Structure 1
Amino acid sequence: MGPRNAADFAAYAALRVFVATIQALPLGLCDRGAAGLAWLFDRVIRLRRRVVRENLKIAFPAASEAQIDRMTRQVWRHLFLMVAEIAHAPRKVHRSNWKSVTQIGDERAIVDLMLLPRPKVIISGHYGNFELGGYLLGLFGFPTHTVARRLDNRYVDRWINRFRGRTGQHILPKDGSSGDIDRLMASGGVVALLGDQHAGPRGCWVNFFGKPASTHKAVALFSLGYQAPTLVMTSRRRGAPLRYTVELAGVADPQADGFELGDAASFTEWFTERLEAMIRRAPEQYWWVHRRWKGEPPPRAAARLAKRAQAGASHG
């Protein structure tokens, strides 16, 4: 075993010990611990404090300093509690009891769409417990496939993917899986994608909380290219740990009469607006620790966004 391999295995072993420790603790204690760690990371360690606060001020410009302080701590509490929930989920949430811990909004619409004999796309974001969202869909009887980059640590990558795959959330590598995706979609499968990742200067620029953000065009192209019904879905915690509501934020079907989202920009704008509406319901459950807004849009994209904003103001 080489030095790099040994270091990776040591990190993996440490992670397993950490998760086993969390699993041995009652969820109520994990909740209280998450609150304590939130205070520690915000007030003492101050990890990414400036990033979180800047993001919150962009999204909620009318919020007071006290409100920003409170939301910052709530963001950290959510993140730590999210880790504890993922650790506990395999033992506490399974096919025989998921109805006691999960609510499904628009259940009939979700079931009808997921049972269509056509390819489907689910768009989510870094909101609520997005890792648990795919796990829950598998428990509902709807396996999904997610395109993701392999982790550098192969031990951790294999272990995390076992968690994801135990209920039917399968991972396709970001590179070299185009053939698998074509076969999956041809068979009426489901691809789940995150719709709020920064895509650099050449991405599709849309307004997110009123500020331009670059978004991957591939998310829209999946739906448009495969003519796939697309569901914007989130998993929002409702109070206690491991109590979630799976919500349907919007549906778009390229084959529906009157479909008006036939280009990547319009489609990306549509699902970004739906995600924003969900985030506003529980802003502390969003991943504000990452930089969603980076750089400025190129002139052409900036002009398009300005025109859209002006049209929206006139309409209002």
Structure 2
Amino acid sequence: MKSRLIYWLTYAGMWLLALLPFKVLYILSDGLCFLMHHVVHYRRRVVRANLCNAFPEKSAAELRDIEREFYRYICDYMLEEVKMLRMSFKELCRRMEYDNKEEYLAMIEKHGGIVLLIPHYANFEWITGMSSIMQEGDIPVQIYKPLHNKYMDAMFKRIRTRFGGYNVAKHSTAREIIKLCRDNKRVAVGMITDQSPNPNEAHYWTTFLNQDTVFMDGAERIAKLMDFPVFYCELQKQGRGYCRVRFDLITETPKATADGEITELFARRLEQTIRREPPYWFWSHKRWKLKREDTIQHG
């Protein structure tokens, strides 16, 4: 009962917020940014430690600039996701630009599906509108990790399906994609690929932003299972409330790649993206909490 009440109160508040125009939301975002950064100090130690370890070559002043811009970005991101509750499909398409659509669509047509490697970068949630560039009947599949609270989970699923996305729980990925393909559906499978895995999922380690880092390899395994071409989603902020994504082909033949090769290529591409414009990645995540010895211990 308590969880349901919290859900409806949260949903009502978010729904009212979503009614506000972007200009007003960004005024609220500026106030929220001040509170999170300078009053509440939201994960400030985590942000600073992550930035210092990732960019040892940068001066203290440069790191402070990135930190300040990150808090501005993360507050914008949160309110932009809320806005998705009421944003029209037309407005989403106007604010999210898609480059090199021809290659992306041709690969779906040729192979029956593709895998999109998506980072926690810029306005990545808005990629859910990619159904606007797909052929009628093709399905943009979003792989997600269910939240523990079933009511909050339902709310975020609702947000992410408003624009034609098909949500698939992480543990059901292979089964659901195989089922869609057997039903002669063509799919674009979007997978957030820079999350920190659980110890029992920690399969691929590499050096990333000067640190020993483990990556989830689920996207690579799905690509090889289905023999779907793999694309990297190169996201670039175009200003507040505007973003552009380019789909860069990593491989058309995933089964011909070595184990870990696709995941490594993703890590290298993401590192390039972050170094180009550092503030727009999720620095508040405890990305490096898992250590290699933890995975050895857990077998």
* CA distances 1:70-105 after superposition (whole Å, capped 9, x unpaired): 22222222122112222223544414x555323222
Deviation at 1:137, TM superposition (A): 0.8
Tell me the residue number matched to 1:207.
207
Q: Does 1:31 align with 2:26?
A: yes
Identify if the C-alpha distance between structure 1 residues 99 and 71 changes in structure 2 by more than 3 Å, giving closer, same or farther.
same
Out of 8, 23, 34, which is 1:13 matched to?
8
Residue identity in the other structure for 1:125: P
Provide closer, same or farther for how the CA distance between residues 67 and 36 of structure 1 changes in structure 2, counting only shifts above 3 A. Answer: farther
Q: Is the 8 A contact 1:128 1:234 kept in 2?
A: no
Residue 107 of structure 1 deviates from its aligned partner by 2.8
1:24-80 C-alpha deviation (Å, 9 max, x unpaired): 333112213222222221122112101011111122222222222222222222122
Pick from 169, 179, 186 the counterpart of residue 165 of structure 2: 169
Q: What displacement does 1:296 show?
A: 3.6
- What stretches of structure 2 of length at least 5 have no aligned partner? none
CA 92–218 in structure 1, closer or farther in 2 if over 3 Å, else same: closer
Q: Which residue of 2 aligns with 1:262?
A: 258
Q: Indicate the residue corresponding to 2:224 in structure 1.
A: 224
Contact persistence 2:119–2:270 (CA under 8 A) = yes
1:105 corresponds to 2:105: no
Q: 3-state DSSP class of the match of 2:171? A: coil
Query: Who is 1:139 aligned against?
Result: 132
Percent identity, please.
Answer: 23
Q: Select the structure of larger CA radius of gyration.
A: 1
Measure the CA separation in 1 of the matches of 2:235 and 2:206: 23
1:4-153 equivalences in 2 (<5 Å) = 6-95=1-90, 97-134=91-128, 136-141=129-134, 143-153=139-149
Q: Distance in 2 between matches of 1:113 and 1:178?
A: 20
TM-aligned CA deviation for residue 176 of structure 1: 4.6
Q: Count residues with an aligned counterpart.
A: 289
- One-letter code of the match for 1:34? S
Give the whole-Å Cα distance in 2 for the aligned partners of 1:71 and 1:153.
33
**Aligned position for 1:236:** 236
Counterpart in the other structure of 2:177: 181
Contact in 1 for aligned 2:52/2:63 (Cα 8 Å):
yes
What residue is the counterpart of 2:245 in the other structure? 246
CA distance in structure 1 between the aligned counterparts of 2:248 and 2:207, rounded to whole angstroms: 18
Give the superposition deviation at 1:177.
Answer: 5.3
Q: Distance in 2 between matches of 1:35 and 1:58?
A: 27
Match in the other structure for 1:308: none
Deviation at 1:239, TM superposition (A): 0.8
TM-score, length basis structure 1: 0.82
> Cα deviation per residue 1:146-194 (whole Å; 9 max; x = unaligned)?
2323222222222221221222211112335543222234544222111
5+ long unaligned stretches in structure 1: 1-5, 302-316
Number of the residue aligned with 1:314: none
Task: Write the distance in 2 (CA, Å) between the matches of 1:293 and 1:71.
Answer: 19
In structure 2, do the counterparts of structure 1 residues 120 and 229 end up closer, same or farther at CA, with 3 Å as the change threshold?
Answer: same
Are 2:195 and 1:197 equivalent residues in the alignment?
Answer: yes
Amino acid across the alignment from 2:244: T
1:200 and 1:214 in contact (8 A); partners too: no
2:230, 2:254 within 8 Å by CA — same for their partners in 1? no
Q: For the structure 1 residues 115 and 283, does the alpha-carbon distance in structure 2 shift closer, same or farther, using more than 3 Å as the test?
A: farther
Q: Is the 8 A contact 2:96 2:126 kept in 1?
A: no
Distance in 1 separating the partners of 2:116 and 2:26:
30
Give distance in 1, aligned partners of 2:254 and 2:81.
Answer: 37
Write the distance in 2 (CA, Å) between the matches of 1:292 and 1:75. Answer: 16
- For residues 289 and 98 of structure 1, what CA distance do their matches in structure 2 show? 26
Q: 1:151 to 1:255 in 2, by over 3 A?
A: closer
- Of 122-131 and 217-226, more deviation after overlay is shown by 217-226
Task: Give the CA RMSD over aligned residues.
Answer: 2.6
Q: Is the 8 A contact 2:18 2:85 kept in 1?
A: no
Q: 1:286 Cα deviation (Å)?
A: 0.6
Query: Is the contact between residue 249 and residue 278 of structure 1 (CA under 8 Å) also seen in structure 2?
Result: no
Residue 251 of structure 1 aligns to which amino acid in structure 2? Answer: I
SS of residue in 2 equivalent to 1:167: coil
